[in-house]
Amino acid sequence: MLGYIGNIGVKLSLLFPFLLDKFWSLFYKKSMKECGLRVYLRPTCSNFKGLWNISIGNYTSIPKGAVFYCTEAPLTIGDKVIFGPNPTIITGDHRIDVIGKYIIDSHDKLIENDAPVIIEDDVWTGANITILKGVTIGRGSVIAAGAVVNKSCPPYSIIGGVPAKVLKYRFSIEEVLKHERLLYPENKRLTEEELIASRS
C-alpha cells in the first residue's frame, strides 16, 4: 500500500512541473510579438526578457535553460529551429565608455548598443551557445556547442568556436539548390547568385 502511494506521489511530482510549464507557455506565447504554431517552450526553467519584442515561427523548440534578453532591438526566430540546452541570445549591451559612472548606472544607451538578432528557418544549435546583438544566422545553419556568435553567418554554414567562425558548409551550392527545391516554394528559395555572394 505504501509503495502504491509513493508511486502516486512520484507521478504527481513529475506532472506538476509539466502542467506549470503548459500554463506559463500560454501566457508567454500571448505576450510575444508573434508566436507560430506548435512552439515548444520551457518558461519555468528559462529566462525571457522583452517578450513584446520576440517573434518565433512555427514548429520551433526552445529548451530548458534558455536565456533570451530582448532589449530595444527585436529577436526573430524562424520556422523549425531547434535549440540545444541552455542557449543565450542578447540583442543589446551596456555602455562601457561613460566616465564617472559605474557600468550598471550608465543608462544613456547609444543606437549601436542594441541591434536585432535574426535566426532564419531550419537552424540547429548545440548546447550552451551564445548569440550576441546584430547577428543573423543564415537558413539551415548549425552552431556547434559552446560557440559565441558575434558575427552573422551565411546559409547552410556550420559554425563554431569563440568567437564563432565558419568551419565548413553543410552542402555544396548545387546541393543547396536541390535541397531548397524539395523544401521551399519557388518564391522562398535562395538563388545561386545569393548563395555564391554569401560564401565569398
111 with 176, same domain: the answer is no
160 with 177, same domain: the answer is no
CB-count burial class (<10 Å; 0-12, 13-18, 19+) for 86? middle
Between CA 25 and CA 31 the distance in angstroms is: 10
Taking a C-beta distance cutoff of 8 angstroms, is the pair 61, 82 a contact? yes
Radius of gyration of the chain (CA): 20
Query: Which pLDDT tens digits describe the chain residue by residue (200 residues)?
Result: 445 444 554 454 566 677 777 888 888 899 999 999 999 998 888 899 999 999 999 999 999 899 999 988 999 999 999 999 999 999 998 888 888 888 887 677 788 889 999 999 999 999 999 999 999 999 999 999 999 999 999 999 999 999 999 999 999 999 999 999 999 999 999 999 999 999 98
- Grid coordinates belonging to 149: 556568435
Would residue 19 count as lying in a domain?
no
162 with 193, same domain: the answer is no
Would residue 73 count as lying in a domain?
yes
Is 94 among the catalytic positions? yes
β-bridge mates for residue 124, sequence order: 82, 142
- In this prediction, residue 112 carries a pLDDT of 84
123 with 183, same domain: the answer is no
90 with 182, same domain: the answer is no
59 with 132, same domain: the answer is yes
**Tally of structural domains, the chain:** 2
Would residue 13 count as lying in a domain?
no
130 with 190, same domain: the answer is no
Which of 11, 22, 49, 94 is the catalytic position? 94
- In this prediction, residue 200 carries a pLDDT of 87
- In this prediction, residue 13 carries a pLDDT of 52
83 with 127, same domain: the answer is yes
Q: Name the residue range of residue 135's domain.
A: 24-95+104-169
CATH value at residue 118: 2.160.10.10
Report helix, strand or coil for 11: helix
146 with 80, same domain: the answer is yes
Would residue 8 count as lying in a domain?
no
47 with 124, same domain: the answer is yes
67 with 133, same domain: the answer is yes
Q: State which amino acid sits at residue 102.
A: Y
